[in-house]
Structure 1
Amino acid sequence: MTTRLPHALRSDAADNRARILDAARAAFSAEGLSVPMREIARRAGVGPATVYRHFPAKQALVTEAFADQMRACRAIVDQGCADPDPWRGLCLVIEGICELHARDRGFTEAFMSTFPDAREITAGRAHTVKAVTELARRAKETGQLRPDFLVPDDLLLMLMANQGIRAATAAGQVAASRRFAGFVIQMIQASPQRPPLPPAA
């Protein structure tokens, strides 16, 4: 009995952690980051103390809950930057990021929020902004991207607008986001007929 007890405890702890993360992902995705830790504990079927034992602060839970999305975001950006055609790469990034964020409302909030201790999210956001800035610079040099497109201002503006999309189903949400991304791409493409954009906020 004594030799098996630690293994059983470790197994229970791992199960609790998995349930907490599953509950957090579902809650954050549907309702955003405002869901209280106590409510996540209730949905996970554990006590609040168990949640805080695994995740002492909310930003720790947010960071781990969205680790997969941050990796996916980085992969989209890296794929776009690797495209020898910077305009095509930028279009790929806009389409991919809009769809990724449309699938998870909480991820957009986490991406745009400032969590001092959430190093992975902060680093992921910094990587995205730096990479898209360079991609936009290259696309402007080819004459395909309008010169007044700004990073990060317009990138964050795009994400905020994309976050406002609401649909009855997840598929409808993604479809609407793809249409929105199409409009964004058309609007930022360089054209002599288009007047300059208003100043960034």
Structure 2
Amino acid sequence: MSPRRYSMSVRAEQAARTRERILAAALACYRDKGISATSLQAVARRAGVSPATILNHFGSAEALADAVIEELSSTLQVPDDSGWPDEEPSARVRRLVSEMFEFYERSRPWFDVFRAELGEAPALRQGEDAYWRTIGEVYARTFGAALADDRSRAAVFGLTSPATFVALRDAGMAVTDAADLIADALNRVAAA
């Protein structure tokens, strides 16, 4: 019988699967209890690994939180207009509102977690800063000079806020209907 050959590719695949299991476990724990209230031991139990394995893969609890926020941001797909075709301004406003509201719908289970821990979890603060940089650029390209006017800027950000979205959804509106309503209102603001 010949000795078994060590395979680096098999080892790398196992490590990648373990890393994904840890990320999934951390994501579930964070959603259930929040980032600050989740210990490495809780994530390890849920992932079926030891806390040392988590540290081997991520280095620290903070690095794990950073990786989870990065993964979550990718999964939730923050709106980005880089792939949007050149559209007339009212169509661009409609597209922005629609994509923001679809993003809010995907993100809705995380709103309370983020809001409760924003001041406590550095990974969330960094994620929110990156979110606002990206979204701010999309809004600037969509609304242009209208954002220089205080009233127009307040209308744009107020009408496209998560709170407005949640209020419309809670009132029974479908995501697309809510987006159409707000896009129509913003197009009137932009035309004024």
Normalising to structure 2: TM-score of the pair? 0.62
Q: Deviations over 1:82-107 (max 9, x none)?
A: 43312211210111121123123366
Pair 1:189 & 2:187 matched = yes
Q: Deviations over 1:135-166 (max 9, x none)?
A: 1126x49xxxx983327981696124435787
Specify the code of the residue in structure 1 equivalent to 2:100. I
Q: State which structure, 1 or 2, has the greater radius of gyration over its C-alpha atoms.
A: 2
Distance 1:164 1:52 in 2: 41
Any unmatched runs of 5+ in structure 2?
none
Corresponding position of 2:87: 84
Return the offset for 1:9: 4.6
The answer on whether the counterparts of 1:41 and 1:47 sit within 8 Å (CA) in structure 2 is yes
Question: After the TM superposition, which residues 151-166 of structure 1 pair with which residues of structure 2 at under 5 Å, given as runs?
Answer: 154=157, 158-162=161-165
Pair 1:180 & 2:178 matched = yes
Return the offset for 1:20: 1.8
Return the offset for 1:61: 2.5
Any unmatched runs of 5+ in structure 1?
168-172, 195-201
Question: After the TM superposition, which residues 90-129 of structure 1 pair with which residues of structure 2 at under 5 Å, given as runs?
Answer: 90-105=93-108, 109=114, 113=118, 122-129=129-136
Corresponding position of 1:130: 137
Q: Deviations over 1:19-77 (max 9, x none)?
A: 1223344556x65854725444333222333334333215412333225246x4354x2
Q: Give the CA RMSD over aligned residues.
A: 4.4
Distance 2:34 2:102 in 1: 19
Alpha carbons of structure 1 residues 133 and 102: separation in structure 2 relative to 1, 3 Å = same
Identical aligned residues as a percent: 19
Corresponding position of 2:69: 63
The answer on whether the counterparts of 1:37 and 1:51 sit within 8 Å (CA) in structure 2 is no
Which of 24, 27, 51 is residue 48 of structure 1 equivalent to?
A: 51
Distance 2:29 2:12 in 1: 26
Distance 2:75 2:69 in 1: 10
Corresponding position of 2:18: 16
The answer on whether the counterparts of 1:129 and 1:151 sit within 8 Å (CA) in structure 2 is no
Pair 1:73 & 2:78 matched = yes
Distance 1:90 1:153 in 2: 10
Distance 1:186 1:164 in 2: 17
**Structure with the higher fraction of residues in helix conformation:** 2
How many pairs were matched up? 176
Alpha carbons of structure 1 residues 152 and 84: separation in structure 2 relative to 1, 3 Å = same
